[in-house]
Chain A
Amino acid sequence: MAAPITLHLEFGGGAELLFDGVKDHQVTLPSQSQPWDMKQLLVWIRANMLKERPELFVQGDTVRPGILVLINDADWELMGELTYEIQDQDSVVFISTLHGG
């Protein structure tokens, strides 16, 4: 059994509007037999944090196009995307791309 994991989640670029306008969240993922990965985190966020219109955040098993995911201030593409194994005290940021000018 892996111990519970505490994470800092952050939403920006308008993605916070799907979470009552709150940008910073401190969350604890329950302990489970396998280590948590990003794919499971997305499922957990959808089930526990998203209030409505989940399609504006997730599509299929990943984030919708136009949302950039950062793990500890790096593009998640550099970290293995959905397969990244989440560590205690990680910081995960979801930024919606802006288009205005």
Chain B
Amino acid sequence: MEQEVFRLKQQLLEKEREISVLKDALAQLQTLNQSNNTSIELQEKVTPLVPLKEKATLSNEEIMRYSRQLLLPELGVKGQLKLSQASVLVVGCGGLGCPLAQYLAAAGIGRLGLLDYDEVELSNLHRQVLHGEDTRGQPKALSAAQAIRRLNPAVECIPYHLKLSHENALQLVQQYDIVADCSDNVPTRYLVNDACVLSGKPLVSASALRMEGQLTVYNYEGGPCYRCLYPVPPPPETVTNCSDGGVLGVVPGIMGCFQALEVLKIASGQASSCGQQLLTLDAQDVRFRSIRLRPRQAGCAACGENPTVTALKDYEQFCGSSATDKCRRLCLLSKEQRISVKDYKEILEGGTPHLLLDVRPLVEVDICHLPFSLSIPLASLEGRKTEHVQLLKEQIAETKQRLKSESCVPVYVICKTGNDSQRAVQILQQMASLEVEPISPKDVIGGLMAWAQKIDPSFPQY
């Protein structure tokens, strides 16, 4: 009898434990579900934010979550609490912004403003690691905010789906403690710099292209601002973007992580060492270089003694380029020197003898090309490389024979989007009088990408 009572009591205890475990699991799932269901509100304009709540202690869950960094004397509980009260504006949710936002959120930053005007595209995914197949076509700011929430729902994310401009930048920047420039174009870099100088915010700035990266913290502890280093914007034709020059995804990944490091140091009350320093990465040779920079310049237009930049202005005009990383469309030739892809297709179908000259770099020809084209890169034409000039001469002569008339040989020049092909036509015209037989060169408007979009949908786009 007594044994039976004891056994039942034991069983009851066991069941009660099980029930309590089940209740905990249910509660956890319900909280998670709740936070997943509250939709993230995408901001189309800048709105005032409530200040972050002061926090005196860490919860048990926070202690566990951040335990491995709390153990660092450099951070500690004090630093962690400061992080939770810091807000960071991330300008651009691309190759730099994704890893940056990811590490800031993982480390427990209080608030992240995630700004990007663009939508997620397939060609972004090799480097913009917060986005995925399932968020293609969505605003990048929203896609990034969703990924951040899955990682750490305690971080307050504010996704801005808008283009930063001289009209909204100041109001936005003023609401954050630190700004991270992860943008991809010159006008935005000047705009972000001036907004940071005017509102006294440190600017953690990084950039990446091909196999190289650069990082500096501007407007910080008496150090220089972007304009101190670059008072005059570069000529637009000297600026290469990722869609033209290419970039290995891990390179902005590394630079975005460095940016996160400097933001975390500043936000947690440690000093950044990059305030008057430029860090460069040559990923090909795995070479880092730390360069001592000039101090704040007394004559700087933005942060100098008599600043002329006292309000934000039109930065696209100032830089002579657009505030996107989309390719520029040159217009170097007259209408008669150009041909549309549609008209070229007709010539092709009509069987008129002609020469199709592809002037892209060989690395791009390897990606895709039209089977009947002759490949001579623009750089070879510019340098009048002997073997290429010879090749061109032969092909022109052969085409002339097939033409069976004394008229000029039609040469159609093609490239990716129709800019280099125009330069090539100009070079061919110079050559036409001296170095080769009479030709009539024309550029194919919009290049192979227009061909893929308008004529042959099976032709790859890149």
Q: Please report A residues at the B interface, Cβ cutoff 8 Å.
A: 12-14, 23, 51-53, 55-56, 64-66, 68, 70, 73-75, 77-78, 95-101
Contacts and interface: CB of A to CB of B under 8 A. Distances in A.
Contacts of B239: 66, 99
Given A14-B245, A52-B382, A64-B238, A75 B291 contact: yes
Interface stretch (B50-58, B206-214, B261-269, B450-458): B206-214
Interface of B: 92, 94-97, 181-186, 189, 206-210, 212-214, 229-235, 237-242, 245, 247, 252, 278, 280, 282, 289-294, 325, 382-383
Nearest to B237: A56
Contact of B207 (A65, A68, A78, A98): A98
A95 B210 CA distance: 14
B209 A98 contact: yes
Contacts of B210: 14
Nearest to B243: A100
Contacts of A56: 235, 237-238
24 contacts: A12-B280, A14-B209, A51-B383, A53-B382, A56-B237, A65-B235, A66-B230, A73-B292, A74-B292, A77-B294, A78-B292, A97-B207, A98-B208, A98-B213, A99-B183, A99-B189, A100-B95, A100-B184, A100-B207, A100-B209, A100-B325, A101-B92, A101-B95, A101-B242
Contacts of B234: 64-66, 97
A71 to B, nearest CB: 10
A13 B94 CA distance: 20
A13 B214 contact: yes
Nearest to B182: A101
Secondary structure call for the A interface = loop
A53 B382 CA distance: 9
Contacts of B214: 13, 95, 97-98
Contacts of A75: 229, 278, 291-294
A95 B208 contact: no
Contact of B94 (A65, A73, A97, A101): A101
Contacts of A95: 214, 280
Contacts of A73: 289-292
A66 B291 contact: no
Nearest to B289: A73
Nearest to A68: B229
Nearest to B232: A65
Contacts of B94: 101
B207 A101 contact: yes
A99 B238 contact: no
Given A66-B239, A101-B183, 13 more contacts: A13-B214, A14-B209, A52-B383, A65-B231, A65-B234, A75-B292, A99-B186, A99-B189, A99-B209, A101-B92, A101-B97, A101-B181, A101-B207
B291 A100 contact: no
A95 B279 CA distance: 12
Contacts of A78: 292, 294
Contacts of B92: 101
Contacts of B209: 13-14, 98-100
B376 to A, nearest CB: 16
Nearest to B127: A101
Contact of B96 (A23, A53, A96, A101): A101
Contact of A70 (B96, B208, B245, B291): B291
Contact of B208 (A51, A55, A101): A101
Contact of A14 (B97, B235, B240, B382): B240
A32 to B, nearest CB: 29
Contacts of B233: 65-66
Contacts of A52: 382-383
